[in-house]
Chain A
Amino acid sequence: MSEIILTNQLLSRQSFKEQCGIELSQLRDIHGRTPEFAIGNTPYLLEPASPVNNRPSTEGLSALNQLAPMYISRDLTNLSLSYGSDNVLALAQIRKNLYDFGTASVGASAGFHGNRISGFIKAVQEYQNALMQFREAIETKSPHKLAAEQKVNHAYKELQNKFHYEMESVTAQIKSRRGTALSNLERGKNIVRSSRNITKLDVTSQAQASEVAQFAKYTKFLGNGLAVIDFTSRLGNIQNTHKAGGSWHKQLFIESTSFIASAAAGTMMINAGSYGLGLLIAATPIGWVGLIIGGTLVVGAAAGASLGANYTLQQNSGNWYDAIMNALGI
């Protein structure tokens, strides 16, 4: 288990100790050295000093490495400070679940999952926005504090209503004693009330470190702390192949051919289906129930065709790429 410390400002040895009660000498930076200052938006590893060997654990350093790039660590710091760090871990997990689900289902059905993902992101944004406004109202002692608190309650309820299952499955795994801001409204409000600028992230595994890094990467922090997450699974695949040293040209070819084919298959089925349905309803006394059943069949057939085309093209177009490259002599 690695504990990661994040701060959003430059802190001297003295003020760092005052703020969180930890000696700066207990921290390690990305090179395994003890820092002189705590630099803002930089992750540090916190490990209990062991008398036997003075080197930080390799797992800890590896987790640190994944979170260290500036564009990741800055967003991660902001997110952790405004959501609470357990919350970031939970969100990273939910994002991964939705993302895996989305990657497994593409084409026409992607519209549905895309809606689900963007709905989730929107609900989280609203909850966060409400929390930020509440925080501002507390800091400025605004008379609208109560209204802002109401808004937090409302946004939290929305999030709970719409994404109950996703949140339950994830927050059950975290087992934080205090609960997370996602499972517990009071916890969310308390994080806001305590306006801190240092936060601690408990990363339990390598896999979790990479999930967190991915989450921060997909999260852009706008001026007022609005998190926007965009999903580009196909681009993600290409980028991963590129990073893993694979042939990303080939992956690009595979992803684009399968995308075109699955889109074409889905479009064709829906178009043919809407004609069939239109003729059916014009020729027979079929009612609205029949229309709904027919519509469901059309959408289902379109999703099936689209998935099938995507899968088959993924299987075959790699060969086409090789054949074309061979023929061109490249």
Chain B
Amino acid sequence: MSIFSKLLAFDFLFILLSCILYVLFGQITVRKLRKNPKTKNVLGMEYASGWDIINVASALAMPRRLSRKLEKGPLAYLYANSDLLFENTSKFDRILGAVFYWLFMSSSFVCVLLVLLNYLGVFDG
């Protein structure tokens, strides 16, 4: 196996792990929020079904100042309402959400980066 293939495989393990966390976070935290009438309608836009899981995770994982800024902007309907979510989640939910979100974002970012570098011929030499 080439170095590229090994790196990609290593990164894929993290993507897989984040997919497991995605299911767990969806079942543990987001299911609760979907049932809660206070938070039911503030989970952000669902581009595809299940996207609210990502919205909630990003609202819990992003710095509060950034989320507040975004939620006041004209595209607020895209994002979950972080203030309401913080009121209605436990510390465990927030940690789970943050771990899932950053693992997912970073591992898939690395995947895209590797694919791009490979495409540009960095690993050919």
Residues of A within 8 A of B (CB): 111, 257, 260-261, 264-265, 267-272, 274-275, 277-279, 281-282, 291, 305, 308-309, 312-313, 316-317, 319-320, 323
Contacts and interface: CB of A to CB of B under 8 A. Distances in A.
Contact of A309 (B47, B48, B115): B115
B24 interface: no
A281 B74 contact: yes
Given A277-B75, A278-B78, A323 B12 contact: no
B5 A265 contact: no
Nearest to B50: A267
Given A264-B111, A278-B79, 13 more contacts: A111-B48, A261-B12, A267-B104, A268-B112, A277-B75, A279-B70, A282-B75, A309-B112, A309-B115, A312-B8, A313-B12, A316-B9, A323-B1
Q: Dominant SS at the B interface? A: helix
Contacts of A277: 75
Contact of B70 (A257, A261, A278, A317): A278
A257 B118 contact: no
A320 to B, nearest CB: 5
B62 to A, nearest CB: 8
Contacts of B111: 261, 264-265, 309
A309 B12 CA distance: 11
A319 B115 contact: no
23 contacts: A260-B16, A264-B15, A264-B18, A265-B108, A265-B111, A268-B112, A271-B54, A272-B105, A278-B78, A279-B66, A279-B69, A282-B74, A282-B75, A305-B115, A308-B115, A312-B114, A312-B118, A316-B4, A316-B9, A319-B5, A320-B1, A320-B5, A320-B12
Interface in B91-121: 104-105, 107-109, 111-112, 114-116, 118-119
Contacts, number: 91
A312 B113 CA distance: 12
B72 to A, nearest CB: 7
A264 B78 contact: no
B23 interface: no
A301 to B, nearest CB: 9
Contact of A264 (B19, B47, B58): B19
Contacts of B69: 279, 282
B73 interface: yes
B100 to A, nearest CB: 12
Interface in B7-56: 8-9, 12, 15-16, 18-19, 47-48, 51, 54
Contact of B109 (A268, A281, A312, A316): A268
A291 B48 CA distance: 20
B73 A281 contact: yes
Contact of B78 (A265, A268, A274, A323): A274
B48 to A, nearest CB: 7
A274 B75 contact: yes
Nearest to A299: B47
A268 B8 contact: no
Contacts of A317: 9, 12
Contacts of B47: 270
A272 B62 CA distance: 12
A148 to B, nearest CB: 36
Contacts of B79: 274, 278
B58 A257 contact: no
A275 B67 CA distance: 9
A234 B108 CA distance: 21
A261 B51 CA distance: 16
A268 B108 contact: yes
Contacts of B9: 316-317, 320
B125 to A, nearest CB: 18
Q: Which of A257, A308, A312, A320 has the most CB of B within 10 A?
A: A312
B102 to A, nearest CB: 11
A180 B54 CA distance: 48
A270 B69 CA distance: 19
Contacts of A270: 47
A317 B11 CA distance: 12
Given A111-B48, A282-B70, A308 B5 contact: no
